[in-house]
Amino acid sequence: MPRFVVTPWEVKGKVDYEKLVKQFGTKLIDAALLKKLERYAGGLHMFLRRGIFFSHRDFDWILNMYEKGEKFYLYTGRGPSGYTHIGHLIPWIFTKHLQDVFDAELYFQMTDDEKFLFKRELSLKDATGFTYDNALDVIACGFDPRKTFIFSDVEYAKTLYRTAIQVAKHITFSTVKAVFGFTNENNIGTIFFPAIQAAPCFFPSVLKGKNIPCLIPAAIDQDPYWRPSRDVAPKLGFYKPAQLHCKFIPGLGEGGKMSASQPETCIFTTDKPEVAKRKIMNAFTGGRATIKEQREKGGNPEVCSVYQYYYFMFEEDDEKLEEIYRECKNGDRICGDCKKILAERVGRFLVDHQRKREKAKSVIQDFMLKD
Amino acid sequence: MPRFVVTPWEVKGKVDYEKLVKQFGTKLIDAALLKKLERYAGGLHMFLRRGIFFSHRDFDWILNMYEKGEKFYLYTGRGPSGYTHIGHLIPWIFTKHLQDVFDAELYFQMTDDEKFLFKRELSLKDATGFTYDNALDVIACGFDPRKTFIFSDVEYAKTLYRTAIQVAKHITFSTVKAVFGFTNENNIGTIFFPAIQAAPCFFPSVLKGKNIPCLIPAAIDQDPYWRPSRDVAPKLGFYKPAQLHCKFIPGLGEGGKMSASQPETCIFTTDKPEVAKRKIMNAFTGGRATIKEQREKGGNPEVCSVYQYYYFMFEEDDEKLEEIYRECKNGDRICGDCKKILAERVGRFLVDHQRKREKAKSVIQDFMLKD
């Protein structure tokens, strides 16, 4: 039995990321690559310093091309089957950072067709509705409206289908069975979908009439989707899409990634601060049974979901983060206080994000690509 | 070994149409149905009198609905992988007749995606190019521009994809394996395609916001395509599409349907009259080895490709057709003369069709549906 499972539809168990890199055949982001990146960015983003973005395919090649004057575009996306939570924001925040550093265009895919096709109970109306709702969260991350193109697969199908059938002609059912574990009982929409997901690796090159390198920042579970794209790319005369992979932000429970299907351990971007606070106050921590015991023996930040939130998003200063870690270990930091401080920070973040989200409603049409 | 094979991609051997009706589970057009139809049309079209349109699904239901005041629309199409030949015109001529009689709208699908996906050597550019070329032949048949909507699957993908994924959600790979004989080596575009072919059974109802009966006149080999559509229809709240099936016009060789892959036994709509004449003069007939023998023993119109052309298209008068048959049987009609008369008629038809085809170039945009 595998101790953990990572597929585009399921993440189970405690993920061993180093093992995953070997299993998927990707590369760890090494010191040389970080040094190179630091030069462009004038420093290293917190997500790189902390190994939250940790793995890649051909990112070194993308940087070499960039050095030679060939700009790349960014491609990432979201499966809109529900409301956005904080875990979804991690790759988007980093994508915004990459857009700023490299002055790159971003194509952002809303796979409402995928969610409709894979989720028995989800209606097409609800899936396309979530496309618009979730796009507000994307825009709230601060992307440049002149360089950011958000599209719904359903609404932008004309452009996508034309490229997708060219990809599809080179992918057999045997291949998608092997890569995605599809069976004969899969519906024929899900079987075709990998070609739709591949299309944004190529259609911007088609639209601009020249071959443009593509970089995909996304959580590591999405990696399989771009394996067929990478195989097909040279057959169609395009560059293979490069990738940057991040880890999953854990939920507020014991282990596992943050998931909308467990709303009590998941902070939605639309949660009121007091709702988020309640969830945080109920979070699983590395604390002891009693305050007395914790003062004596110290807590365990390694297994603590609250500490993970400081680590992923809510303490940008590395020294202060280390201080939190030390205080916890020493027994100087008590869970109740630690949770309250986090809840305040999360609350402030939510108020700010929700304000930007409201503002996004009036500009969303500037971001949406239409056929 | 089956003596004949009929699938959407292959027609082989001498087709036993009565057997096919049993095999496919369709119904023969019977006397009662013809009588009903005669009332509306003020007579019976040659194709019905001669059993060229011979089979149906739910055509009786369509007529009952029509009697109750519920109009239907027509849906047919063409796989644009090459130039149009006379055999392709048979269902279109009949569809035009149905449009006139029932004042029906026609949705005409050009499956350029299908041809691109199924034909290894065909480029997307060539497939979409044939869409426009073949549309000229459709328009030349005289369809009403206000009621006729021609669309390329590639160009009209936005509307089609939205309906296709709703169909696709209800069709598994097991189903398309059973219906179309797909294997694991099929590319994933071909696997999805039946959902695209099903979409025009429903999208006009979606566009108009009410459930409208759909009638598909087409050659019998296309029947399998609409079996999944008929199964899925009630799940999506639509009527099952009804069908009218025709036989294949034979080629000018010995047996087999007319096929563009055998250009010497196939009359293209763009053939010059003298080219068509040469092909006809070389046609396989039911004649004897010598004129003397033919005068004595008579010819065999049953196996004669030239006679088939009178039968299918080039002698509308039933009595005159019978006369040709009798003269041939009696030895009064010699192949050379018979071919010359046919060649003249085909030549006149081609000149007229090509004139209409030229005129179609200036109005084609009035017929093409765009997203």
pLDDT at B103 exceeding the cut of 50: yes
DSSP secondary structure letter of residue A172: B
pLDDT at A6: 64
Mean pLDDT of A283-310: 93
**Three-class DSSP labels, B149-184:** EEEECCCCHHHHHHHHHHHHCCCEHHHHHHHHCCCC
Inter-chain residue contact B173 with A184, CB threshold 8 Å: yes
Nearest CA in chain A to B196: A189
Mean pLDDT of B231-256: 92
Distance separating alpha carbons of residues B152 and B173, to the nearest angstrom: 25
CB B73 within 8 A of CB B65: no
pLDDT at A255: 73
Q: What is the pTM of this model?
A: 0.93
* Alpha carbon of A153: minimum distance to chain B alpha carbons (Å): 9
pLDDT at B147 exceeding the cut of 60: yes
Q: B254 vs B343, which has greater pLDDT?
A: B343
pLDDT at B3 exceeding the cut of 60: no
**A106 contacts: CB under 8 Å, gap ≥ 6:** A73, A74, A75, A76, A95, A99, A143, A147, A148, A149
Mean pLDDT of A305-318: 95
pLDDT at A232: 97
* Alpha carbon of B206: minimum distance to chain A alpha carbons (Å): 14
Q: From A306, A305, A321, A346, select the one nearest A14 (Cα to Cα).
A: A305
pLDDT at A263: 84
Confidence of residue A16 (pLDDT cuts 50, 70, 90): confident
pLDDT, mean over chain A: 94
**Strand, coil or helix: A74:** strand
Q: A254 vs A271, which has greater pLDDT?
A: A271
pLDDT at B257: 77
Nearest CA in chain B to A185: B172
Antiparallel, parallel or unpaired: β B27-28 and B214-219: unpaired
Mean pLDDT of B153-161: 97
Task: Give the side-chain half-sphere CA count within 13 A for A175.
Answer: 22
DSSP for B240-289?
A: PPEEEEEPPPB-SSSSSB--TTSGGG--BTT--HHHHHHHHHT---S--S
Nearest CA in chain B to A156: B158
pLDDT at B148: 98
Inter-chain residue contact B173 with A191, CB threshold 8 Å: yes
Per-residue model confidence as pLDDT tens digits over B277-303: 999 999 999 999 999 999 999 999 989
Distance separating alpha carbons of residues B268 and B260, to the nearest angstrom: 8
First to last CA, chain A: 47
Confidence of residue B159 (pLDDT cuts 50, 70, 90): very high
pLDDT at B2 exceeding the cut of 50: no
First to last CA, chain B: 46
Inter-chain residue contact B173 with A166, CB threshold 8 Å: no
| Dihedral pair phi/psi, residue A43, rounded to 5° | 140, 170
pLDDT at B151: 98
pLDDT, mean over chain B: 94
Mean pLDDT of B83-103: 96
Distance separating alpha carbons of residues B252 and B306, to the nearest angstrom: 7
What type of residue sits at position B347?
G
Assembly ipTM: 0.93
pLDDT at A1: 37
pLDDT at A2: 41
DSSP secondary structure letter of residue B6: E
Mean pLDDT of B82-100: 96
Residues of B in contact with A186 (CB under 8 A): 172-173
Q: How many interface pairs between A and B have CB atoms less than 8 angstroms apart?
A: 119
Q: Which domains can be identified in chain A, with CATH numbers?
A: 5-248 (3.40.50.620), 263-358 (1.10.240.10)
pLDDT at B105 exceeding the cut of 70: yes
